[in-house]
Structure 1
Amino acid sequence: METWILVTKRSARLGVNLHFPPNLGVGGRKDFFAAAFQSVDPPRAGAPATMVNSNYSALPLTSTAIELQSAQPPPPPKSGASAKLTKQDSFLGEVEDDDAATPGEHDELPLIGDDGPAGPPEGSGVSGAVFNLATSIIGAGIMALPATMKVLGVAVGLVSILVMGVLSEVTIELLVRFAVRCRALSYGELVHRALGRPASVVAQLCIVVNNAGILVVYLIIIGDVMSGSLKHMGVMDQLVGHGEWDNRRLLILFVLVVFLAPLCALEKIDSLSLSSAASVGLAVVFVAVSCMIAAGEGKLAAPRMGPDFSSKAAILDLLVVIPIMTNAYICHFNVQPIYNELKEKTPQNMYNISRISTVLCVVVYALTAISGYLLFGDDTESDVLTNFDKDLGIKFSTVLNYIVRIGYIVHLVLVFPVVHFSLRQTVDSLVFGELAPHSRKRMLSLTVVLLALIYLGSTMIPNIWMAFKFTGATTGLALGFMFPALVALRLDKEGECLGRGERLPSGGMLGGGWPSSSASSGLSETCTA
């Protein structure tokens, strides 16, 4: 047996030693370390390394972040040879000048850490990850919640918001747990490991359809609020009057090029932490203003506590609520990117992040739904923003209307790049493969193409609610509940035991998902006809 050492910024300081047969080639050694780095904890002083659970994340097999270095002291250098040291310590010893020319030598693999002294670990902290995940959850669907409260009633509506939040939290934790177990770096890769390549392609296509549809909806709402529609006046029309400046397509294009494109060009999702925090803050502002208006108006009618079964249309509306509620908590495609960029990559850390995010979103959703419904009652529109273009009958009504609508537009602008990030990552994986080397040029080209297609879709699709019903009843339900349940149940058969509190919800989500999807999709087609 021969001793080789994994050399990275972290392991150079820890001195992690691993043993494997000497006949394993350089390529095999690299693959071995890429897998072992996930499962090797730093040993105690004087103790050998052992294969146990680890806080480290897997490195892609294409990564150049690994050098294999023999632990046996090398012979003295020849005359004229120079000594090369890492900046952490003299881990490499002396290396001959012509060493790199020898085929198969370890110096073919570059060393991380020779670019400066080791600093604090890069990545996102807990607060940044919470804001990114909460921003992935709180999107355009928040404006449909007052209408769902009108259909379900206050009591049933609140219970539904809570139950959907709990189910979403369970599925997020299942995804994190099995992604770490399988060393999967993305949603599609996790499905691939558990269910095979065909299922992975289906899951990735669902992400593309879901995220592209959501982004199209965002642009449509931005255009409607700024330029107006047949049902309400736009902000620009109210502020400066009618003219070329309130042309819907031009306004959307302006927002896309000036505000959205620079944010979407960022390479890492943790770079969006500040904008995500601002986005969540604006959602809280909307809730606060709505509650203040509802409390100050003084004309609140007694709300219904349960669903209305008085007509066939009211009963059918209950099925429309399913895809809207399903869409409300879909963030699962961003869980792995957020986890991958954490400073401290541990499952428990990610569990805490998802729990904090879920509680935050449940509170925001509940207050938004109640305040909107109490404020407008049975006149609550499907998009509650349309109710804010008229006089509310209170002081500073016009100012509050502007705050709500403009604040929400800014919120969507800040949410947009977070959803776009996973869309671009998934398209890149589908088209170029998961092992394709990183390319800034390819990433920027994909960003331009995707934004152009999304803009084109926003100019051709006039109705956001058909998009919500379709994505919620199909891709949203699949991504948020069906695939996580399938992954959990499949891996449970392979020896990863689930608790009763995990197995029952997984089976229930899988068993109830298909009927709900079929019923909601059929209702959407009926309404369209």
Structure 2
Amino acid sequence: MDVGRSMELQKMNGQHSRDLGPDKLNLEEGFDGLEFMAERDEFLPGTRPGIKAPQFTDFEGKTSFGMSIFNLSNAIMGSGILGLAYAMSNTGIILFLILLLFIAILSAYSIHLLLRSAGVVGIRAYEQLGHRAFGQPGKVLAGSIITMHNIGAMSSYLFIVKSELPLVMQAILGSFWFQTWCIGNACCAAAERTVCGLGGWSLQCLTKHNHSAYDFCEPQLFTINTQTAYTIPILAFAFVCHPEVLPIYTELQDATKKRMQTVANISILAMFVMYGLTAIFGYLTFFGGVESELLHTYIKVDPLDTLILCVRMAVLVAVTLTVPVVLFPIRRALLQLLFPEKPFHWARHITIAVCLLIIVNLLVIFVPTIRDIFGIIGATSAPSLIFILPGIFYIRIVPEETEPLKSKPKIMASCFAVLGFIFMVMSTSFIIIDWVSGESRSGGGH
């Protein structure tokens, strides 16, 4: 290969000048050959003598295929799982499963676009893809959206602490008093407040909601109401894992796009099954009475049940320990956006952390239900990370010489981004209308 062509490959891969070796790809071989070269030279270090390790990492990926599936599944599953039963109660079982499958398939396609884009430029960081596509504005946009989404995630975790911790403490400290009171007054007398056991819940279903007992106490296959607008945002919020896909790709052993796409497909399938089962069993337990935070609904069953109490305590420990983990990428992103050239300084480091915690805690205090967090984040940052950014990054990063704008892959990516924009505008509008109309359920019940 001549020097000019060698320099062109270097530029496309975002590397500084180095020896590319005698057996490099001819550019006329097309996009597939270029992607193979990008992966071989940029993503698979140490495969041939004389080729030094790539610059984006100083170690070869050693994470096994199974552990990568576990890591990505863990990145997908978050607090959004607690809102799925509520979403099903406002769509019906069949419509919910259709929407769940729809979001899962689109998430897998979105990861495909990210991997193809990363394969061209040799980058495995979401913000860096934005920089490569649109320069500094693209990096700022991607970083800001990721920051917004992480703030929403941290807010949802702290909201769970806000709603669950007082009840758990009350159950632990006042269990003897509660048991004495419950036995002396017969559990059904407390149907309007805290009921003891599923029998009490059934009685509440038959007495308090006699006017619409069928709609409230029977499973629905299809249903539409004012709260249905929250369903797709909740589902999108539950499937966001895209900022973590590229780092997991970096750590994957024997990394190729096909291998990483398989990791993503299996992880998404596993979460699809788990989300579906969680929503179905939660909905069939409480029907129309399920609240936007599923665990909180179990106060209607028996706050002193040992198994339920252990589950709630485990969730509390998990989300409490997760808050600092989520705080770290937010602080790092803000430091990169606001002080990109400044050296590390403890005062700046601590100030940003304190300000973030104050802002998030104020949000948690004044937001009435976790449904509102799921809704607004799922309607804004989630479609941006799943639909819009992967689509426009792909269109900008993949060279027009190999895939013209009128090619099928780029047309599909364009439609994908437009779909995300439409979804974001419609969902946000419906949620705002619901807020303004004042028809929302304050506690999640019908």
Residue 479 (structure 1) aligns with: 385
Looking at structure 2, the residues matched to 31 and 512 of structure 1 have their Cα atoms a distance apart, in angstroms, of: 33
Report the Cα offset of residue 130 of structure 1.
2.0
Report the Cα offset of residue 187 of structure 1.
0.8
Closer/same/farther in 2, CA of residues 19 and 158 from structure 1, 3 Å limit: same
Larger Rg: 1
Closer/same/farther in 2, CA of residues 416 and 138 from structure 1, 3 Å limit: farther
Looking at structure 1, the residues matched to 81 and 142 of structure 2 have their Cα atoms a distance apart, in angstroms, of: 25
Residues 410-450 of structure 1 show CA distances to partners (whole Å, capped at 9, x for unaligned) of 443465466445434433432344xx79x8x66x8777555
Q: How does 1:351-366 map to 2 (within 5 A)?
A: 351-366=261-276
The answer as to whether partners of 2:146 and 2:243 remain within 8 angstroms in 1 is: yes
Report the Cα offset of residue 121 of structure 1.
4.6
Q: What is the TM-score when the length of structure 2 is the normalising length? A: 0.71
Q: How does 1:311-350 map to 2 (within 5 A)?
A: 314=225, 316-350=226-260
The answer as to whether partners of 1:38 and 1:58 remain within 8 angstroms in 2 is: no
Q: How does 1:217-232 map to 2 (within 5 A)?
A: 217-227=156-166
Report the Cα offset of residue 518 of structure 1.
2.0
- 2:355 maps to 1:453: yes
Residue 169 (structure 2) aligns with: 236
Looking at structure 2, the residues matched to 191 and 38 of structure 1 have their Cα atoms a distance apart, in angstroms, of: 25
Residue 304 (structure 1) aligns with: 220
Looking at structure 1, the residues matched to 242 and 37 of structure 2 have their Cα atoms a distance apart, in angstroms, of: 24
Looking at structure 1, the residues matched to 202 and 174 of structure 2 have their Cα atoms a distance apart, in angstroms, of: 32
Residue 50 (structure 1) aligns with: 24
Report the Cα offset of residue 141 of structure 1.
0.8
Residue 292 (structure 2) aligns with: 382
Identity of aligned residues (%): 25
Looking at structure 2, the residues matched to 328 and 366 of structure 1 have their Cα atoms a distance apart, in angstroms, of: 12
| Paired amino acid for 1:398 | D
Residues 305-346 of structure 1 show CA distances to partners (whole Å, capped at 9, x for unaligned) of 1123xxxxx1x3222223212211111111122222333332
Looking at structure 2, the residues matched to 344 and 235 of structure 1 have their Cα atoms a distance apart, in angstroms, of: 46
| Paired amino acid for 1:35 | Q
Residue 183 (structure 1) aligns with: 122
Q: How does 1:425-440 map to 2 (within 5 A)?
A: 425-433=332-340
SS in 2 for 1:494: coil
Report the Cα offset of residue 389 of structure 1.
1.8
Looking at structure 1, the residues matched to 13 and 100 of structure 2 have their Cα atoms a distance apart, in angstroms, of: 45
Q: How does 1:109-508 map to 2 (within 5 A)?
A: 121=60, 123-227=62-166, 234-241=167-174, 302-308=218-224, 314=225, 316-391=226-301, 398-413=305-320, 415-416=322-323, 419-420=326-327, 422-433=329-340, 448-449=350-351, 451-461=353-363, 462=365, 463=367, 464-491=370-397, 494-497=400-403, 502-503=409-410, 505-508=412-415
Report the Cα offset of residue 355 of structure 1.
1.1
Q: Which moved more, 1:201-210 or 1:509-518?
A: 509-518
Report the Cα offset of residue 202 of structure 1.
1.5
Alpha carbon RMSD of aligned pairs, Å?
4.1
Residues 44-66 of structure 1 show CA distances to partners (whole Å, capped at 9, x for unaligned) of xxxx442462545749xxxxx99
The answer as to whether partners of 1:133 and 1:334 remain within 8 angstroms in 2 is: yes
Looking at structure 2, the residues matched to 146 and 469 of structure 1 have their Cα atoms a distance apart, in angstroms, of: 14
Closer/same/farther in 2, CA of residues 320 and 167 from structure 1, 3 Å limit: same
Closer/same/farther in 2, CA of residues 238 and 486 from structure 1, 3 Å limit: same
Report the Cα offset of residue 519 of structure 1.
2.5
Structure 1, unpaired ranges of 5+: 1-17, 25-29, 60-64, 67-88, 92-110, 113-119, 228-233, 243-292, 309-313
Q: Which moved more, 1:340-349 or 1:377-386?
A: 340-349
Residues 454-497 of structure 1 show CA distances to partners (whole Å, capped at 9, x for unaligned) of 43234312223333222111111111111111122334562444
Q: How does 1:83-122 map to 2 (within 5 A)?
A: 121=60
Looking at structure 2, the residues matched to 38 and 235 of structure 1 have their Cα atoms a distance apart, in angstroms, of: 61
Report the Cα offset of residue 127 of structure 1.
2.8
Looking at structure 2, the residues matched to 422 and 56 of structure 1 have their Cα atoms a distance apart, in angstroms, of: 29
Closer/same/farther in 2, CA of residues 417 and 329 from structure 1, 3 Å limit: farther
Closer/same/farther in 2, CA of residues 451 and 527 from structure 1, 3 Å limit: farther
Closer/same/farther in 2, CA of residues 32 and 139 from structure 1, 3 Å limit: closer
Residue 13 (structure 1) aligns with: none
Residues 189-208 of structure 1 show CA distances to partners (whole Å, capped at 9, x for unaligned) of 11222233323312211111
Looking at structure 2, the residues matched to 324 and 161 of structure 1 have their Cα atoms a distance apart, in angstroms, of: 10
| Paired amino acid for 1:235 | V
| Paired amino acid for 2:37 | N
Looking at structure 2, the residues matched to 331 and 186 of structure 1 have their Cα atoms a distance apart, in angstroms, of: 13
Q: Which moved more, 1:398-407 or 1:359-368?
A: 398-407
Looking at structure 1, the residues matched to 391 and 11 of structure 2 have their Cα atoms a distance apart, in angstroms, of: 30
Residue 514 of structure 1 is aligned with which of 421, 433, 436?
Answer: 421
Residues 82-102 of structure 1 show CA distances to partners (whole Å, capped at 9, x for unaligned) of xxxxxxx9x9xxxxxxxxxxx
Looking at structure 1, the residues matched to 143 and 18 of structure 2 have their Cα atoms a distance apart, in angstroms, of: 25
SS in 2 for 1:152: coil
Looking at structure 1, the residues matched to 351 and 312 of structure 2 have their Cα atoms a distance apart, in angstroms, of: 29
| Paired amino acid for 1:158 | L
SS in 2 for 1:53: helix
Q: How does 1:74-85 map to 2 (within 5 A)?
A: none
Looking at structure 1, the residues matched to 125 and 408 of structure 2 have their Cα atoms a distance apart, in angstroms, of: 25
| Paired amino acid for 1:383 | E
| Paired amino acid for 1:306 | F
| Paired amino acid for 1:141 | G
Structure 2, unpaired ranges of 5+: 26-35, 54-58, 176-196, 206-216, 437-446
The answer as to whether partners of 1:167 and 1:505 remain within 8 angstroms in 2 is: no
Residues 240-284 of structure 1 show CA distances to partners (whole Å, capped at 9, x for unaligned) of 249xxxxxxxxxxxxxxxxxxxxxxxxxxxxxxxxxxxxxxxxxx
Highest RCO, 1 vs 2 (Cα 8 Å, sep ≥ 6) = 2
Residues 355-414 of structure 1 show CA distances to partners (whole Å, capped at 9, x for unaligned) of 12111111111011111001110111111111112335xxx9701211331232244346
Closer/same/farther in 2, CA of residues 382 and 446 from structure 1, 3 Å limit: farther
* Greater helix content: 2
Closer/same/farther in 2, CA of residues 485 and 54 from structure 1, 3 Å limit: closer
Q: Which moved more, 1:333-342 or 1:368-377?
A: 333-342
